[in-house]
Chain A
Amino acid sequence: DGGITQSPKYLFRKEGQNVTLSCEQNLNHDAMYWYRQDPGQGLRLIYYSQIVNDFQKGDIAEGYSVSREKKESFPLTVTSAQKNPTAFYLCASSTQVASGSYEQYFGPGTRLTVT
């Protein structure tokens, strides 16, 4: 089955540690995204990548880093510089459909708790 996997579902870290969230897709989509979701808020874009070895900052990139060495993989590192890292993180990929729009497909998310 094609889809997007994120692991683990729950992640716990101590303050001051970097942590990497995994995102893998087998949909053969070119574009991939990372979003952060906080209670009462919508999804906010952290980073996105249109092609391998290229990525752009989103609206809240500070304290985060990404890499895109393979088409299928877009890991997100939450660094110790991120002041409030506890949140729900969603990975997505997108493809162009017949109408010309890009449709996003989402992974199941990772809940990160930093104490």
Chain B
Amino acid sequence: AQTVTQSQPEMSVQEAETVTLSCTYDTSESNYYLFWYKQPPSRQMILVIRQEAYKQQNATENRFSVNFQKAAKSFSLKISDSQLGDTAMYFCAFSDVLKFYFGSGTKLNVKP
């Protein structure tokens, strides 16, 4: 069975600084995909970034980047130049193509 673990229930960061959210997963699959989703107070789930397990290069989307360590089954999210609008719950997710498995989330507070 696939499991996703986020060990940081809540984190805070000052505006304009950098923060890293941790995620580990467990799977015996060789082909899979990893995602970070953002859920702001509106509760709308928004895809932040995607990483294909077969790619060695870490994904980057503007201020968001990941550190994907396949052997360690680790998939952390780095947010650079944090903005107030980044305040949200962040969920790490694993997909073995069609089914998705989510971590319990990290609540990120960006302070002015």
A interface list, Cβ under 8 A from B = 31, 33, 35, 40-45, 48, 50, 58, 88, 90, 92, 94, 99-106, 108-109
Contact = CB atoms under 8 A, between A and B. Distances in A.
Contacts of A50: 98
Interface residues of B, number: 23
A2 to B, nearest CB: 15
Contact of B50 (A88, A101, A106, A109): A101
A109 B43 contact: yes
13 contacts: A31-B98, A40-B104, A42-B6, A44-B102, A48-B99, A88-B43, A101-B33, A101-B95, A102-B95, A104-B47, A106-B44, A106-B45, A108-B44
Contacts of B98: 31, 48, 50, 94, 102
Contacts of B6: 42
Contacts of A40: 9, 104-105
A45 to B, nearest CB: 7
B50 A103 contact: yes
B52 A101 contact: yes
Contacts of B42: 108
B4 interface: yes
B96 to A, nearest CB: 10
A99 B52 contact: yes
A33 B100 contact: yes
